[in-house]
Amino acid sequence: MANHTVHAMMVGMSESWWRSGIMPCLRSDVDRDKPVAYIFWFIEGPNGPIVVDTGYHPDYVAPEWAQGKQFIDPPKLLAELGLKSDELKTVIVTHFHQDHFTGFDYFPGAKFIIQRAELEFWTGPRMRHKVLDSQIRPKVRPGLEKLQKEGRIELIDGDHVLYPGLNLLKAGGHTPGSQMIALDTAAGKAVLCGDIAYTFKNIRDHHPVGWYYDLGDTVAALDRAIATAARPDLAFPNHDPEIMQGKRVVRVV
């Protein structure tokens, strides 16, 4: 069994997130207003270092994201682990929302592993709708085109074994091509849920997040994450400050 270690890195934090961290199922729950951590991940395993998501880049995100949020440059966080972002070769992208995939310029030598359904949706005709279009920033599209021309986008269709002990799980739900990462660790099978779960409460109570493309797929993916993890605390949400234990970089498993 190929065991991995996983570190969480917090790019920034906001006081609350539209009162929607647990919605729609807990409309009056105080946890809707809990602080939101913006996290990306580092996996160390037998096949070398892997980053999950990119963090966000202040030049690419909405103006309100570029200021405040206690932002720390992702390469500085990686440096705390002895890593140089420009030397990393593999980035798994859970989905294209701006807090997960606007930091691609930090990784000039990496390939980005993405579900085909995600790329096709965010570059397709439905982006004519302003609500959807607002979720992928204007500068991201030229960046994507550049990555494609350079041959640095690796598209996958559905579940995918990156290598024995590390699987990518097609999730959908939150976005059409959202994916999760299931990996072997010394503690058992762990799952990085992406935005299928914002908080541990989503996982503990089987309550879906409030921002989704397809609610049924979101619920199914959440159930799959819970069933796949060796135990509930090994299914990691993507925005819960509890993950960080008061730190900016922390080993979680």
SS3 242: helix
Query: Token pair of 32, please?
Result: 């809707």
The tens-digit pLDDT sequence of the chain (253 residues) is: 679 999 999 999 887 655 544 444 544 455 556 778 999 999 999 999 999 999 988 887 766 665 556 789 999 999 999 999 999 999 999 999 888 998 999 999 999 999 999 999 888 766 666 666 566 667 777 888 899 999 999 999 999 999 999 999 999 999 999 999 999 999 999 999 999 999 898 999 888 887 788 889 999 999 999 999 999 999 999 999 999 999 999 999 9
Query: How many angstroms separate the Cα of 44 from the Cα of each of 88, 113, 157, 184?
Result: 12, 17, 24, 11
Residues in the chain: 253
Specify whether the CB–CB gap between 160 and 116 falls below 8 A: no
Structural domains present in the chain: 5-251 (3.60.15.10)
**94 closest CA partner among 199, 10, 168:** 168
Output the CA torsion 156→198→240→153 (10° steps). Answer: 20
pTM across the whole model: 0.91
